[in-house]
Amino acid sequence: MSADGPGHYDVLVIGAGFSGLYALHRLRGLGLRTLVLEKAGEVGGTWAVNRYPGARCDIESIEYSYSFSEEIQQEWVWTETMPAQPEIESYANFVADRLDLRGDIALHTEVIAMTFDEPSSQWRVRTRCGQTFVAPFVVAASGILSVPLEPDIAGMDTFAGTSLFTGRWPRDGVDLGGQRVAVIGTGSTGVQLIPVVARDAAELVVFQRSPAFTLPWRVRPFEPGELDGLKAGYAEIRAAQRAHPVGAARLSAFSVLLEMLARPPIKSATPQERSRAVEEHGVLGALNWGDVFFDIEANRMATELYGEAIARIVDDPDTAAALVPSHPFACKRPIIDQGYYETFNRDNVTLVDLRRGGIEAVTPTGIDTEQGAFEVDVIVYATGFDAMTGALSRIDIRGRDGVALRDVWADEGPVSYLGLQVAGFPNLFTVQGPGSPAAATNFIAALEHHVEWIGDCVSSLRAQGYRTIEALPSAQEEWIEHTTSLVAPTVLVHPTCNSWYNGGNVPGKKRMYMGYTAGLPEYRRRCEEIAAGGYTGFKLS
């Protein structure tokens, strides 16, 4: 590791996931002595630990990948249209080796506290093992979905069988053959996991608190020569991505939603047109109307149609009815699946709709609910994440006057300027912080822009002799007003929607929509304008 004193660097990066790997490469390339601190024993971040069966990205591999290196995008070989977890993890390792990053990554190094020392304008960063690192700049590349949310269910630790958490699945896998398995949670993770577990396990009991809206999707291996053809046109693919609001121009979970916006309203469709939409296009046809994002009544009408579409797939009418969501469509992140509803026609699968009676406790032999007891050998918790702010709230981060970041977010909600900085925390950059487009975009496309903006910013400050940059409270306030005004007319903020997008999935977390929905090109334009204007909204000193 390159250092001019014990633990002194120009920039410290927290996390060696996709953001941290690129941040290291970029900052090093700018001549900055950079060290990445990673709590895990491997690179890859969220994609290295979410190893549950069925884990897969819902954006196409050729777009869910770094665009900054022509060599990497030409050399790496994707085997499927949408990549599965093992391939994404291998890709992260390939990039780490190809760019010779490992020498500047400290693994098993968990940051637990950091303090901004005002006289020296330096961050002092402490790790669980007691090391201290010092640098003027810190880049938090700690992930938006990196802190699993374990539910607070009585008796969880009394279970005598195997408890598994999708967010930290055992590296060597788990043989579920012949076992009675419970899955708690039916978000993106549960919807991916459930069809695969159903095939492996003797019995599967799905505990569903909120049914999902999910659209069927075909993932397939590339045909011979297909990937080479795509790679030959990579310049056009990347250009189209850059121009696209979600940073992914090909079909993805996000682009389906965007296309819906241009569709005619359900409210002016005739009953025959609505029925035909379901007959011809199933669950997608049920939801494919332009007014569902803005008009809660239209959304309810579409949900009713959605129920009809489910009933055409799921044989048992009770089970089909139990799979119909009660929250508005599109207020949670879109989900795509492979054979989710068909899974409930299997003899070995039981659905427990917790809206009819919730979980009371986990017992040594299984799960007790208000509807009865279920004996199982394995419980899988697919219960989500403390998203966006979770990772940094777990570090004791002290900015100016000793103020703690976790207190600011607890009191004011997940505030930030551009999702890049929080007022009162100079020289601390957040990659994909709250208020940035991350949540509603292709994360890799979004992180590349953030890393590049941060690198240019640090270089420019140093070239001009500035020591600190910090978001102005007024600019932060205006940004939050702007981001929240964008979603105000949509179902994204409907009170019945508890989503990680708005913090409603975490008990006690202050609710605020945490994304930027005007799209990546507009966001990039604003960030470039701010930089070109001498970092408007930031104080430089």
Binding mask 348-387 for ligand NAP (x = CB under 6 A): ------x----x----------------------xxxx--
Sketch the per residue contact string, 35 through 74, with ligand NAP: x for CB under 6 A, - otherwise: ---------------------xxx----------------
Closer of 57 and 95 to ligand NAP (Cβ): 57
Closest by Cα among 313, 345, 144 to 214: 313
Contacts of 76 (CB under 8 A, 6+ apart): 65, 91, 94
Query: Is 124 within 8 Å of 117 (Cβ atoms)?
Result: yes
Q: Crossing angle for the helix pair 18-29 and 443-464, nearest 10 degrees?
A: 30
Looking at residue 400, what DSSP letter applies? Answer: G
Q: Does 146 bind ligand NAP (CB under 6 A)?
A: no
Q: Which of 73, 109, 122, 186 binds ligand NAP (CB under 6 A)?
A: 186
Distance CA 12, CA 114 (A): 11
Which of 40, 153, 201, 277 is in the footprint of ligand NAP by CB under 6 A?
153
Cβ-proximal residue to ligand NAP, closest one: 187
Contact 116, 427 (CB under 8 A): yes
Q: Name the DSSP class of 500.
A: T
R_g of the chain computed on alpha carbons: 24
Specify the residue, 57 or 260, whose C-beta has the smaller distance to ligand NAP. 57
210 binds ligand NAP (CB under 6 A): yes
Residue 284 to residue 256: CA distance in whole angstroms: 9
Pick from 394, 453, 388: which is nearest to 27 by CA?
A: 453
Kindly identify the residues of this chain, within the stretch 382-401, that bind ligand NAP according to CB under 6 A: 382-385
Distance in Å, CB of 339 to ligand NAP, minimum: 14
Give the shortest CB-394-to-ligand NAP separation in angstroms: 18
Q: Is 155 in the site for ligand NAP (CB under 6 A)?
A: no
Say if CB 404 and CB 398 are below 8 A apart: yes
Binding-site member from 49, 62, 99, 145 for ligand NAP (CB under 6 A): 145
Q: Does 206 bind ligand NAP (CB under 6 A)?
A: no
Of 184, 194, 215, 405, the one binding ligand NAP (CB under 6 A) is 184
Q: Does 190 bind ligand NAP (CB under 6 A)?
A: yes
Nearest to residue 516, comparing CAs of 481, 472, 491? 481
Interface positions, 407-466, toward ligand NAP (CB under 6 A) = none
Residues β-bridged to residue 203: 180
Binding of ligand NAP at residue 209 (CB under 6 A)?
yes
Q: Shortest Cβ distance from residue 148 to ligand NAP (Å)?
A: 8
What angle, 0 to 180 degrees and rounded to 10, lies between the N-to-C axes of helices 234-243 and 520-532? 80
CA 499 to chain centre: 12
Site for ligand NAP contains 515 (CB under 6 A):
no
What does the block give as tokens for 537? 């909204």
Q: Are 32 and 11 in contact (CB under 8 A)?
A: yes
Least Å distance, CB 371 to ligand NAP, is 13
Tell me which residues touch ligand NAP (CB under 6 A): 56-58, 145, 151, 153, 184-190, 192, 207, 209-210, 333, 354, 359, 382-385, 498, 500, 505
